[in-house]
Chains A and B, each alone.
Chain A
Amino acid sequence: MKKIVLLILVNLLFSTAIAHGQPVRIAYLQSDIHQLPCWVALEKGFFKKEGVKVEVAGIFKAGPELMSAFAAGALDMGYVGVAPATTAVANKTARVVVLAQVNTEGSAIVVKKDGKVQNIPELVGKIAAVPGHATVQDSLFRRALLKFKTEPDQVKIMVLKPPEMIGALRTDQIDAFIAWEPYPAKAVTMGVGRILASSRDIWKDHPCCVLAADVKFLEMQLEKAKGVVRGHVKAIDFIRQHRDEAIKIGMKYTGMDEASIRMAMENVNYTPVLSVEGEKEYVDFLTKLKYIKVEDVQNFVDRFMRPEFVKEIIKK
């Protein structure tokens, strides 16, 4: 009996020791310029400087995929759109909380450069692509339609991964798409598309990507999580002050040319400060679309968003 207890204790100690030595498993979205702070922090070693070892455990094509990885317990923290994160938590498949904002705005609706669609109501009866259901872009697009008095079910909305969108637009498979930067910028620099509306036009200051953390990870490794958030805030500062170098890092991680990246970054606002009001609007919207069912919105948002992390860092 004693031997078994000893074995268990050693095991626990060992795994905790290992856990403390394990790098933080972090993920981001492929070629999404919103995630620049993550790339900057990795390149400039900001996480390391806070004493945290970080490994990239996944690069995903869209938010919902990243949330699935959280559900499978494969991630500790992730840079992801707030809409897919909200959906996953509300539908109880992933247990994460949001520790910091990554950016606001930074998406755009793109149509064919010399095409038939000149304004939003002309999208009626046409085909538009979004990166996924219940993504930030999906919500933005529907919001844009409603803002211009068009019913979303009058437009054929289909799901495409952003890398496929420009090609589909070019060959007239679709009439419009909405994606995160730098895809809209790339469509413009390629001469294929033009911006019909940027997210600023649709919903000023709307929250977009957030830095989320797995609840269990947060409980067990609070200090590490805080370190990551500090590195994140540093990265955002760096982007503001050393724009050209940030652009180079953006080019490296997206593989795109300087002109596109520069244009893309004009459309994005990097900030670590969480917008709780913005989140409430998402919850309302997603509930209206029947993707989620949240009874007590305030309660949900209180438990989902943790603005105190960033507030603490900024105060210093």
Chain B
Amino acid sequence: MKKEHFLLPLLLILIWQGLSSIQVIPSYKLPSPVEILLGLKDLLILGVPPGNLLHNHVLYSLYRVALGYAIAALLAIPLGLLMGWSAGLLRMIRPLFELVRPIPPLAWIPIAILWFGIGIKSAVFIIFLGAFFPILLNTISGVLSIHPILIEAARTLHAREKDIFLKVLLPGAVPSIFVGMRIGIGIGWMTLVAAEFTGVKEGYGLGYMIMTARDIQRPDEILAGMLVIGVIGLLIDIGLRAIESRMIKWQ
């Protein structure tokens, strides 16, 4: 993060503010940076809808994502290791997954609501779908990318199947698993916000907040909300990368 990295964005923001101030960019179409910051203040203090403050929206959204993501990872990683290890299993299951994978998670929303109702369960389901496949596929490719000679080396050290699984496949696949996890959380976070557009029982959630800001015609709050969503997504990614580089010192 050098100083130069901030120069261009800063310049763009200044130009934007300038154009907004002289109304070349009308504020009802695109609020100025200053207005967006004021909108952020309203999100924090006043809340959208009034009384529902930003930090609660953030917490609810994070909670939903964390839940859906955890379920996805807990299922996808072991399954991916098994599918990478057993060609037979891979052949059997793969066609089913390849059929389901291209369906966008958001297309599942009507079915999710039918199965799980309006509320956290359907949101978690949608996020699970979004995060599951990247983690699974990257885990499988992680296992497949392990040089076969490493497995043979383990065998010559008298490893049984269990040892190969835990001491070779799992650590060897970790870099790919992390790639999958980063992609998965990115998709999960994006999917959540859109999933919340359709219905939120608890009255909290960043997607719901933005939809409400739209309802009450506050584009400044809409953009401030989008900014918050983007920043959180960025922080999550940075966090994961930090963990990743700690765990993969060996690459």
Which A residues lie at the B interface, using CB under 8 A? 62, 64, 67-68, 71-72, 84, 87-88, 91-94, 127, 132-135, 153, 156-160, 164, 168, 171, 173-174, 289-292
Contact = CB atoms under 8 A, between A and B. Distances in A.
B117 A171 contact: yes
B186 interface: no
Contact of A153 (B51, B202, B211): B51
13 contacts: A64-B215, A64-B216, A71-B29, A84-B215, A91-B216, A93-B28, A93-B217, A93-B219, A133-B212, A134-B217, A168-B118, A173-B119, A289-B50
Contacts of A71: 28-29, 217
Given A68-B217, A292-B216, 10 more contacts: A64-B214, A64-B216, A64-B217, A84-B215, A91-B217, A94-B217, A156-B203, A159-B208, A164-B199, A171-B117
| Dominant SS among interface residues on chain A | loop
Given A71-B29, A290-B46, A290-B50, A134 B216 contact: yes
B54 to A, nearest CB: 15
Given A290-B46, A290-B50, A134 B215 contact: yes
A160 B214 CA distance: 14
A174 to B, nearest CB: 8
Contacts of A87: 216-217
* A-B CB proximity, top 9 nearest: A290-B50, A133-B215, A64-B215, A91-B217, A88-B217, A93-B217, A93-B28, A132-B215, A291-B216
Contacts of A134: 215-217
Interface of B: 27-29, 46, 49-51, 117-119, 199-203, 208, 211-212, 214-219
A85 B218 CA distance: 13
A160 B199 contact: yes
A234 B210 CA distance: 40
B28 A133 contact: no
A91 B211 contact: no
A188 to B, nearest CB: 22
B201 A291 contact: no
A158 B120 CA distance: 14
A17 to B, nearest CB: 27
Nearest to B28: A93
A64 B213 CA distance: 10
A68 B215 CA distance: 9
Contacts of B49: 133, 289, 291
Contact of B50 (A67, A156, A291): A291
A67 B214 CA distance: 10
A133 B208 CA distance: 11
A157 B29 CA distance: 29
Given A92-B27, A153-B51, A290-B46, A158 B215 contact: no
A71 B27 CA distance: 11
A256 B49 CA distance: 33
Contacts of B117: 171, 173
A158 B216 contact: no
A158 to B, nearest CB: 6
A134 B199 CA distance: 17
B218 to A, nearest CB: 6
Contacts of A68: 214, 217
Most B CB atoms within 10 A — which of A62, A159, A173?
A: A159
A5 to B, nearest CB: 24
Contacts of B208: 159
Given A71-B29, A133-B49, A153-B51, A159 B215 contact: yes
Among B27, B51, B118, B211, residue most surrounded by chain A Cβ atoms (within 10 Å): B118
Given A93-B219, A159-B211, A168-B118, A127 B50 contact: no
B46 to A, nearest CB: 6
B246 to A, nearest CB: 42
A126 B49 CA distance: 19
A88 B213 CA distance: 11
B201 A158 contact: yes
Given A64-B217, A93-B28, A159 B199 contact: yes
B108 to A, nearest CB: 16
Contact of B217 (A67, A173, A290): A67
Contacts of A64: 214-217
A164 B200 CA distance: 13
A173 B219 contact: no
Contact of A92 (B28, B51, B202, B214): B28
B20 to A, nearest CB: 14
B118 A173 contact: yes
Please indicate which of the listed interface residues B201, B215, B219 has the most CB atoms of chain A within 10 Å of its own CB: B215
